[in-house]
Structure 1
Amino acid sequence: MRHASIQVRSKLTKEELERYENLFEVGKFLETENRYDLAYFVQREVDLLILPAIERLKEGSKERDRLTQDFIEQKNEE
C-alpha cells in the first residue's frame, strides 16, 4: 500500500481521514496475506478517496501564488 503524502492527509476531512486509515489497515492486512490482487482494489479506493484533498491542496497553492503575485506587483508599483 502506498501512503498519501502528509500534505494531502492534512487536507482530508475527519471522516475522510478515518476512512483512509481503515482502508489502509485493510490493505496492509491483505498484503501480509499475500493477497495483492485484493489489495490493489483497496489501493484504488484510497486513491479515489484522496482526490478531493489533492484538489484542496492545489487550491491552497493557487491562492498563495495569487497573493505572492499581488505582493510582487504592489512592490513594483512603489
Structure 2
Amino acid sequence: MRHCSVQVRGLLTRDELERYNALMEVGTFLESQQQYDLAYTVQKEVDILIQPAIERLKEKGRDRDRMTAEYLARLEQDDDEELA
C-alpha cells in the first residue's frame, strides 16, 4: 500500500483520517495475505479519499504564492517611492 505524504495527511479531516487509517490497515493485511487484487481496490479507495486533502494543499500553495507576489509588489512600490 502506498501512503500519502505527511503534508496531505495533515490536511485530512478527522473522519477522513480515521477512514484512511482503517483502509491502510485493511490493505496491509490483504497484501500480507498476498491478495494483491483486493489490495489494489483498497488503494484506489485511498486515492479517492485523499483527493480533497490534496486540493486543500494545492490551495495553500496558491495562497502562499499570492501572498509572496503581493509582498514583492509592495517592496517594489516602496523602492519606487524612495527613488521619487
State TM-score, norm by structure 1: 0.99
Between Structure 1 and Structure 2, whose CA radius of gyration is higher?
2
Aligned pair count? 78
| Residue 21 of structure 1, CA deviation | 0.1
SS of alignment partner, residue 34 of structure 2: coil
Deviation readout 1:5-24 (Å, 9 max, x if unpaired): 00000000000000000000
Deviation readout 1:11-63 (Å, 9 max, x if unpaired): 00000000000000000000000000000000000000000000000000000
One-letter identity of the residue aligned with 1:34: Q
| Percentage identity across paired residues of the two chains | 58
Distance in 2, Cα, partners of 1:36 & 1:76: 57
Structure 2: gaps (5+ residues): 79-84
State TM-score, norm by structure 2: 0.92
Higher relative contact order (CA 8 A, sep 6+): 1
Structure 1: gaps (5+ residues): none
Distance in 1, Cα, partners of 2:48 & 2:37: 18
One-letter identity of the residue aligned with 1:38: L
User: Runs of 4 or more off by more than 6 Å in structure 1?
Assistant: none
